Amino acid sequence: MSGTVEVNEAGADSRSAKSATWVRRAEVPPFSPAQGIQIQPVIGESLMTCWIAMEPGAVVAEHSHVHEQLGVVVEGSVTLTVAGETRELVVGDAYLVPSDLAHNGVAGANGVLLVETFVPIREEYAKAWRAIAG
Amino acid sequence: MSGTVEVNEAGADSRSAKSATWVRRAEVPPFSPAQGIQIQPVIGESLMTCWIAMEPGAVVAEHSHVHEQLGVVVEGSVTLTVAGETRELVVGDAYLVPSDLAHNGVAGANGVLLVETFVPIREEYAKAWRAIAG
């Protein structure tokens, strides 16, 4: 990775320097894993927290992963289905998806902004982001 | 812990059952680690995400911990100091505090609402919360 966005990654250098990482969302280039979805990650050593913005009706197809996933709705609404259980979530709701559990989602009429954390880091997201962020 | 708030904890039972945990912030009893600060945790297996509400001018005294800490400002503003570096953060800002790094904070004029994740789980927070949540 180049130095242009290194402020957003706690890589070897910042680890040895032991300093905070400060991130402004507007300065984090988003990547798009699917139509109408933009992800802006903040990558730590053991965790990754992402702003995930979904346009109205945008769909996350069913998938699963080994990573534990804990999300909070900060704007709008989303309908999530996890292991066959469906809930509509609004601002102030949170959800925890255990590892390897199938889940999918659809953004509400006004879209949704989520703050989602993955442990361990989702390397395919980190890779997709670095491809854009440089 | 009793069963009254078990929906908010991915304990042994929910792990074996492999289902999502759904949390409404209004239903999570807060604990207060210091004056003017209320914490509502969502506890997973490997991570803990907390809504942290601080009243205007509320202070988090300098401290450090082994846990990696990644926070996002979702309402208001806060001034954080990490290892001697001070920043004022507003909605849309995030920060990553590496393990064992001294940090402190003061809420802004309108208070602040943070979504903060700790890895590993801060057991003293979990314990304080369970003492209230039952």
Are A93 and B68 a contacting pair at CB < 8 A? no
Asked if the C-beta of A5 comes within 8 angstroms of chain B's C-beta atoms, the answer is no
Are A45 and B68 a contacting pair at CB < 8 A? yes
- With a CB-CB cutoff of 8 Å, which residues 97-126 of chain B face chain A? 97-98, 100-101, 103, 115, 117, 119
Q: Which of A8-17, A65-74, A98-107 has the lowest mean pLDDT?
A: A8-17
Q: pLDDT (tens digit, 9 = 90+) per residue, A29-64?
A: 999 999 999 999 999 999 999 999 999 999 999 999
Q: What is the ipTM, given to two decimal places?
A: 0.88
Separation in Å, CA of A124 to nearest CA in chain B: 20
Q: pLDDT (tens digit, 9 = 90+) per residue, B10-59?
A: 544 444 568 999 999 999 999 999 999 999 999 999 999 999 999 999 99
For chain B, give the DSSP string. Answer: --STTGGGB--HHHHHHT--EEEEGGGS--EEEETTEEEEEEE-SS-EEEEEEE-TT-EEEEE--SSEEEEEEEEEEEEEEETTEEEEEETTEEEEE-TT--EEEEEEEEEEEEEEEEES--HHHHHHHHHHH-
Task: Tell me: pLDDT of A10 over 70.
Answer: no
Asked if the C-beta of A19 comes within 8 angstroms of chain B's C-beta atoms, the answer is yes
Q: What is the pTM of this model?
A: 0.89
B chain contacts of residue A103, beta-carbon cutoff 8 Å: 20
Long-range CB contacts for residues B64-67, cutoff 8 Å, separation at least 24: B64/B100, B64/B101, B64/B102, B64/B103, B65/B99, B65/B100, B65/B122, B66/B99, B66/B100, B66/B120, B67/B99, B67/B118, B67/B119, B67/B120, B67/B121, B67/B122
